[in-house]
């Protein structure tokens, strides 16, 4: 028996129209490459989005057409999100830090017809455009006065594009499964793979995240996405913040500690979302000034595991930390580390232990852990296996990539994350490692993450990475690569002594190597692939060593 | 182009399974007719729901089968909600205050096969059952020791039904449009009409309400639905509270001021939801004790318009009031009066003005106002017409009632609410009147609600109702019926002088009549239909008077 309820398509444009009406006091504040700070209420943003939608229609952009963006966090990028998806086209966000060949690959693979680009990033396009499979119209997201000199043909000025267009748009209806956004995974191995979000998945993801973060996302609150709009939709903030009536503060390209501190302090940002790396810079700036930015009370850390010491540092200053976990393939939020009242009010050590793991699922995401033979493992906090996920905001496959789809979706229709995890009876997810980063020594697993989490708590260690190197006798052995904090580099024994307090002798790295910096991927994560290649060559020359 | 995202049916059971895992600390606390206060964590509730689901299956209850409830607010009633809908059947909540003929009508119309009843309500069924069109199995929601003596055959004891059943249930998948709940409108005119909710509408409604009430619905908070579970799903609280991790405190049948105060005080209830009538009792109790219940900080008032004086009384004590508006046909929440920061922080008079109207729409609900010829009127705060609504939690028609469906849904597919309203540019909805309660005098409209709202602010007025009586010259004229506060009844002139400060002379009631009590509908609203009938007869005998 069917219910007798209306079926209205869940549509992204409805979030903006709702927010402009009900949360008209909320603002979008953008530190721009032009050097100013742009402020607009959600109604002014809605008006600009409508003008852009008319302009896109006037240019003949049709439903399903892919429109790329290559930009940092700012109001114009947000406007593209809503206008492109609103008319039924697909907003394809591109990471400007991608190598040129990957950028070319994904533009060709997506079949983009237009690209909206920040003025400072136009030089990236100049050598690229002539090599693309299809013509690509360039729109530079600035006004006439700030248009760059470029040899590119037919470049359009964003503000001129909007000029004279009407400020209301009659958003069309389409099925809620219609594609709305496209984001390629950074692809440390193989070609990048595209996650193709729908209106339904995007709206539901925003609702799921809103229901999980009531204390963070409220009218009157300001939220700063350090996480880029080109990186999995800035974890959904462009949708959930307006939905909840929170203001958005966009930092542009300047993500150093001083720039972030100044912007947060001036605007009274309550919550900031980003990867662990940026918080190191902000913490250093806070230490240097001896105070917090005005109004700062919450950090959401995701992208990679947050070191316990970082969490403790924020919490000691009265800044609540939620550890989050997700994936491009999950829109992306899977878990948040919002703690239940008993843990929040409990002893700090127990609290920190819960905060240093990945948190608990948001409504709408389901987990299962599979053993090596595909059997389901219990959620007992001990059994570890590959985490699989299911839900309305999880991909059912990769865009135009049946091979990758086949490899990612299991026989029951769940997405295999490639993460090794445990889940305890209270639902706490603990990511032990990326499957490919686990180290298998003499048939036993060593978690590179566990080693790193302890090593980074050493005062002389700024950052570190534990990787596998091939070993004739044991198969693989761990090697620890360390970036020292300041000039006084730690010696191997200092680090190994610390690790020996928690790890068995056979789990200890064979070697501790000091380097000036760790190689990063395009999304700012440590590239263990690069490290493994580098040290594999070196160790191969030396021959395997036994521990 | 379609997105490549999983499509999982939105299911009510997923709310409970999610909440049991992630919000296991949240409780369901029930003041029971057995005389005790029952406490259970959400995991224990989930276990009991699973046992009930098994028991229903064992009795052969199939998908789409209608299972009735006749009960006050308590954990067993909540368990019915989840178990019945979880197995794909339909939970039909019945208002115990309905006249017997209406109860018979809706049980027959719904085609219920079982009825779950609170022990004290069994006597209502005894004369009814033999008159029903089909056999109805009675389950009394108590344990063996508290089973009532009854002449009814084959009565089942709820706790015995659950005994021995497994505490886990593998919830089936079904399309998200599957019917889950059925609630008949109280029907002051004509036969009751059934709203048939789906899993999709119910889950989305919970998500919409959660996103609208972040400050109210959080882990660690306790929420008390005074609004009955038999009345439009207690405004969605059985779903949104577990989703958000808030605890539920159920008051059973005792809704007088003293009982509510004691329960709220003992449990530390933060937010209580109900109709204006119950708050009069609670306010009197608070005044008598000279203090608030422990932890009390928020009231959500809906069902009928809250008098401004009541809102002011709560706010002056530091209890935040959200005025809400909705309908059975809307699942039910359409608006909430959560105020934006500027209004909340602004002058009390301006704040009270905003609070005394109905608030602003929640995400997922759309409004239009139609003029007398069906034309759309602007949202300018002045133009008034019939409010129409649209959204995923709005009915597309009435269950097995094509005539009522035809009358309720307009040519564009919107539901006509029968309310006369204005909407201002900031989205504030103001219900001027029920269309059928408006008074048309000499071709001009008089709002009965506006008259009542001012009259009730008179210190000698406890409650009042303004109704139309037929008039030979003017068509209709207003009459004001007043229940005095205490023994000192106001005379007509006192009230008319007050009204004359805001109303034109022709808008003033012709007569002010004092009565001991106003007639109420089954849902506790003032029955203007009854009043109109009563005074129409009286005035007809007197002959029309000119003002």
A210–B207: do the CB atoms touch at under 8 Å?
Answer: yes
Q: Residue B522: its pLDDT value, please?
A: 74
- B336 contacts chain A (CB < 8 A): no
Non-local CB neighbours of A143 within 8 Å, separated by 6+ positions: A34, A157, A158, A159, A160
Alpha helix stretches (DSSP H) within A369-480: 402-408, 448-455
- pTM of this prediction? 0.90
- 3-state secondary structure at position B470: strand
Q: Residue B543: its pLDDT value, please?
A: 56
Tokens of B451: 């008259």
Q: Residue B545: its pLDDT value, please?
A: 45
Catalytic site residue from B329, B417, B422, B521: B329
Q: Residue B16 and residue B23: Cα distance in Å, rounded?
A: 10
- B219 contacts chain A (CB < 8 A): yes
Structural element, H or E, at residue A197: strand A194-198
Strands A359-361 and A428-434, sheet pairing: antiparallel
B214–A244: do the CB atoms touch at under 8 Å?
Answer: yes
Distances (CA, A) of B382 to A84, B348, B429, B432: 35, 23, 11, 11
B245–A197: do the CB atoms touch at under 8 Å?
Answer: no
B21–A243: do the CB atoms touch at under 8 Å?
Answer: no
Q: Residue A506: its pLDDT value, please?
A: 86
The answer for B 341-370 residues in CB contact with A (under 8 A) is 341-342, 360-361, 363-364
Q: Residue B542: its pLDDT value, please?
A: 66
Q: Which residues of A touch B215 (CB under 8 A)?
A: 214, 218
φ, ψ (nearest 5 deg) of residue B125: -80, -25
Catalytic site residue from B185, B328, B521, B523: B185
Q: Residue B547: its pLDDT value, please?
A: 36
For residue B341, the chain A residue with the least C-alpha distance is: A220
Ramachandran region of residue B413, left (φ > 0), alpha (ψ -120 to 50) or beta?
left
- B126 contacts chain A (CB < 8 A): no
Q: Which residues of A are catalytic?
A: 185, 329, 440, 445
B7–A338: do the CB atoms touch at under 8 Å?
Answer: no
Q: Residue B186: its pLDDT value, please?
A: 67
A1, A112, A202: best to mutate for the B interface, most B CBs within 10 A:
A1
**Shortest Cα distance, chain B CAs vs residue A89, angstroms:** 9
Q: Which of B2, B340, B395 sits opposite A5 (nearest CB)?
A: B395
A219–B338: do the CB atoms touch at under 8 Å?
Answer: yes
B5–A214: do the CB atoms touch at under 8 Å?
Answer: no
For residue B458, the tally of other CB atoms under 10 A from its CB is 19
Tell me the pLDDT tens digit for each residue of A519-537.
987 777 788 888 988 887 7
**Shortest Cα distance, chain A CAs vs residue B252, angstroms:** 27
**Shortest Cα distance, chain B CAs vs residue A398, angstroms:** 7
Strands ordered across the beta sheet of B194-198: B156-157, B137-140, B114-117, B66-70, B90-93, B179-184, B194-198
Tokens of A344: 């929040």
- A239 contacts chain B (CB < 8 A): no
- pLDDT digit string (tens) for chain B, length 547 residues: 999 999 999 999 999 999 999 999 999 999 999 999 999 999 999 999 999 999 999 999 999 999 999 999 999 999 999 999 999 999 999 999 888 989 999 999 999 999 999 999 999 999 999 999 999 999 999 999 999 999 999 999 999 999 999 999 999 999 999 999 999 986 555 689 999 999 999 999 999 999 999 999 999 999 999 999 999 999 999 999 999 999 999 999 999 999 999 999 999 999 999 988 899 899 999 999 999 999 999 999 998 788 888 999 999 999 999 999 999 999 999 999 999 999 999 999 999 999 999 999 999 999 999 998 889 999 999 999 999 999 999 999 999 999 999 999 999 999 999 999 999 999 999 998 777 788 888 777 788 888 998 999 899 998 899 998 888 888 889 999 999 988 888 999 999 999 999 888 888 999 999 999 999 877 777 888 889 888 877 766 665 443 3
Hey, which residues does A377 pair with through a beta bridge? A369
B392–A360: do the CB atoms touch at under 8 Å?
Answer: no
Q: Which residues of B touch A41 (CB under 8 A)?
A: none
A340–B393: do the CB atoms touch at under 8 Å?
Answer: no
Q: Residue B193 and residue B190: Cα distance in Å, rounded?
A: 9
User: Which stretches of A328-449 are assigned E, i.e. beta strand?
Assistant: 333-336, 359-361, 365-370, 376-377, 385-391, 415-423, 428-434, 439-441, 444-446
For residue B88, the chain A residue with the least C-alpha distance is: A1
- A401 contacts chain B (CB < 8 A): no
- B381 contacts chain A (CB < 8 A): no
- B175 contacts chain A (CB < 8 A): yes
A363–B394: do the CB atoms touch at under 8 Å?
Answer: no
What is the DSSP track for A16-85?
Answer: HHHHHHHSTT-EEEEE-TTSSEEEEEHHHHHHHHHHHHHHHHHTT--TT-EEEEE--BSHHHHHHHHHHH
Strands B271-274 and B247-250, sheet pairing: unpaired
Structural element, H or E, at residue B264: helix B257-267
- B398 contacts chain A (CB < 8 A): yes
For residue A340, the chain B residue with the least C-alpha distance is: B219
**Shortest Cα distance, chain B CAs vs residue A517, angstroms:** 38
Q: Residue B496 and residue B519: Cα distance in Å, rounded?
A: 23
A6–B177: do the CB atoms touch at under 8 Å?
Answer: no
B392–A6: do the CB atoms touch at under 8 Å?
Answer: yes
The answer for A 191-210 residues in CB contact with B (under 8 A) is 195-201, 204, 207-208, 210
Q: Residue B479: its pLDDT value, please?
A: 93
Owner of token pair 């993500």: A255
- B294 contacts chain A (CB < 8 A): no
A396–B214: do the CB atoms touch at under 8 Å?
Answer: no
B185 flagged as catalytic: yes
For residue B150, the tally of other CB atoms under 10 A from its CB is 14
B2, B363, B398: best to mutate for the A interface, most A CBs within 10 A:
B363
A198–B5: do the CB atoms touch at under 8 Å?
Answer: yes
The answer for B 78-97 residues in CB contact with A (under 8 A) is 90
Contact between residue A547 and residue A507 where contact means Cβ atoms under 8 Å apart:
no
B3–A201: do the CB atoms touch at under 8 Å?
Answer: yes
B1–A342: do the CB atoms touch at under 8 Å?
Answer: no
Q: Residue B30 and residue B39: Cα distance in Å, rounded?
A: 7
Q: Which of A24, A363, A413 sits opposite B243 (nearest CB)?
A: A363
Tokens of A520: 């990063």
Non-local CB neighbours of A507 within 8 Å, separated by 6+ positions: A441, A446, A451, A478
B335 flagged as catalytic: no
Q: Which of A179, A245, A396 sits opposite B1 (nearest CB)?
A: A179
Pick from A33, A76, A30: nearest CA to A52: A76
For residue A336, the chain B residue with the least C-alpha distance is: B22
Q: Which of A215, A220, A395 sits opposite B218 (nearest CB)?
A: A215
- B455 contacts chain A (CB < 8 A): no
For residue A201, the chain B residue with the least C-alpha distance is: B5
Q: Which residues of A touch B391 (CB under 8 A)?
A: 6, 8
Q: Which of B5, B7, B200 sits opposite A197 (nearest CB)?
A: B5
Give the residues of chain A that fall short of pLDDT 70.
186-190, 539-547
Contact between residue A358 and residue A301 where contact means Cβ atoms under 8 Å apart:
no
Distances (CA, A) of B494 to A508, B339, B489, B498, B519: 89, 34, 10, 6, 24
**Shortest Cα distance, chain B CAs vs residue A279, angstroms:** 27
């Amino acid at each position: 028996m069917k219910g007798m309820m209306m079926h209205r398509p869940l549509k992204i444009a409805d979030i903006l129209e709702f927010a402009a009406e009900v949360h008209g006091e909320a603002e979008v504040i953008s530190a721009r490459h032009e050097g100013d700070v742009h402020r607009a209420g959600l109604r002014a943003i809605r008006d600009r989005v409508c003008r852009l939608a008319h302009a896109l229609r006037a240019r003949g952009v049709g439903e399903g057409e892919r429109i790329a963006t290559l930009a940092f966090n700012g109001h114009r990028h947000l406007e593209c999100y809503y206008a492109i998806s609103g008319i039924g086209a697909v907003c394809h966000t591109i990471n400007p830090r991608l190598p040129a060949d990957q950028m070319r690959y994904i533009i060709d693979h997506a079949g983009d017809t237009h690209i909206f680009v920040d003025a400072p990033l136009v030089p990236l396009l100049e050598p690229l455009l002539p090599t693309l499979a299809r013509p690509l119209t360039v729109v530079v997201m600035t006004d006439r006065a700030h248009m760059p000199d470029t040899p590119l043909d037919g470049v359009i000025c964003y503000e001129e594009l909007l000029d004279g267009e009407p400020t209301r748009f009659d958003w069309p209806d389409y099925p809620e499964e219609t594609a709305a956004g496209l984001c390629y995974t950074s692809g440390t191995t193989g070609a990048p793979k595209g996650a193709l979000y729908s209106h339904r998945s995007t709206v539901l993801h925003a609702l799921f995240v809103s229901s999980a973060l009531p204390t963070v996302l409220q009218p009157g609150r300001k939220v700063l996405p350090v996480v880029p709009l080109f990186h999995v939709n800035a974890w959904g903030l462009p949708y959930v913040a307006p939905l909840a009536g929170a203001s958005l503060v966009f930092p542009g390209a300047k993500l150093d500690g001083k720039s972030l501190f100044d912007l947060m302090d001036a605007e009274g940002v309550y919550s900031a979302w980003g990867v662990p790396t940026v918080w190191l810079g902000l913490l250093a700036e806070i230490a240097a000034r001896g105070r917090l930015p005005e109004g700062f009370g919450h950090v959401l850390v995701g992208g990679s595991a947050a070191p316990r010491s970082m969490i403790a540092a924020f919490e000691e200053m009265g800044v609540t930390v939620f550890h989050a976990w997700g994936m491009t393939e999950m829109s992306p939020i899977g878990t948040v580390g919002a703690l239940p009242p008993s843990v929040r009010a409990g002893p700090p050590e127990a609290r920190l232990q819960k905060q240093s793991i990945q948190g608990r699922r948001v409504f709408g995401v389901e987990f299962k852990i599979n053993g090596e033979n595909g059997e389901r493992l219990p959620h007992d906090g001990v059994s570890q296996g590959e985490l699989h996920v299911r839900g309305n905001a999880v991909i059912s496959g990769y865009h135009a990539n049946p091979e990758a789809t086949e490899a990612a979706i299991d026989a029951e229709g769940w997405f295999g994350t490639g993460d090794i995890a445990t889940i305890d009876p209270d639902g706490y997810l603990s990511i032990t490692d990326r499957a490919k980063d686990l180290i298998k020594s003499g048939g036993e697993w060593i978690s590179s993450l566990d080693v790193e989490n302890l090593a980074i708590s050493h005062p002389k260690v700024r950052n570190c990475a534990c990787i596998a190197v091939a070993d004739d006798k044991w198969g693989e052995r761990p090697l620890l690569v360390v970036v020292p904090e300041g000039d006084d580099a730690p010696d191997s024994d200092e680090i190994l002594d610390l690790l020996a307090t928690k790890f068995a002798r056979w789990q200890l790295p064979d070697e501790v190597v000091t380097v000036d910096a760790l190689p990063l991927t395009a999304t700012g994560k440590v590239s263990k692939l690069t490290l493994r290649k580098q040290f594999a060559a070196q160790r191969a020359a030396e021959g395997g060593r036994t521990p």
